[in-house]
């Protein structure tokens, strides 16, 4: 009888470890998604501003404008991902 209880406790401990590991992996994936999304938004804004500045000879105004827009888009993305995680 004690052997059966011991096996059950070991099985429960393994199940809890697996659940905890899965939660850690999910959390890491959300953090990675946030970081990559924010960097991509800012990068696209800067590159678009740089391209348009070169095309229209308006340096440095469009790179500033699109950099700010990229940062705002990054924060919007951050809040969208956070809302998705909460729901």
Rounded Cα gap, residues 74 and 77, in angstroms: 5
Q: Which residue has the higher pLDDT, 19 or 8?
A: 19
The dihedral built from the CA positions of residue 58, 61, 67 and 68, taken in this order, carries a sign that is: negative
Residue 70 exposed, middle or buried by CB count within 10 Å (0-12, 13-18, 19+): buried
Name, in order, each residue with C-beta under 8 angstroms of 70's C-beta and a sequence gap of 6 or more.
41, 42, 43, 44, 45, 46
Q: What is the pLDDT of residues 37-61, one digit of tens each?
A: 999 999 999 999 999 999 999 989 9
Residues 48, 66 contacting (CB under 8 angstroms): yes
**Residue span of the structural domain in which 50 resides:** 2-86
């Amino acid at each position: 009888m004690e052997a059966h209880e011991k096996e059950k406790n070991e099985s429960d401990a393994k199940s809890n470890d697996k659940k905890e590991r899965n939660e850690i992996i999910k959390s890491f994936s959300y953090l990675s998604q946030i970081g990559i999304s924010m960097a991509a938004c800012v990068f696209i804004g800067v590159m678009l501003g740089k391209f348009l500045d070169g095309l229209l000879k308006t340096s440095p105004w469009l790179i500033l404008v699109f950099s700010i827009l990229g940062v705002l888009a990054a924060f919007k993305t951050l809040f969208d991902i956070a809302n998705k995680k909460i729901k």
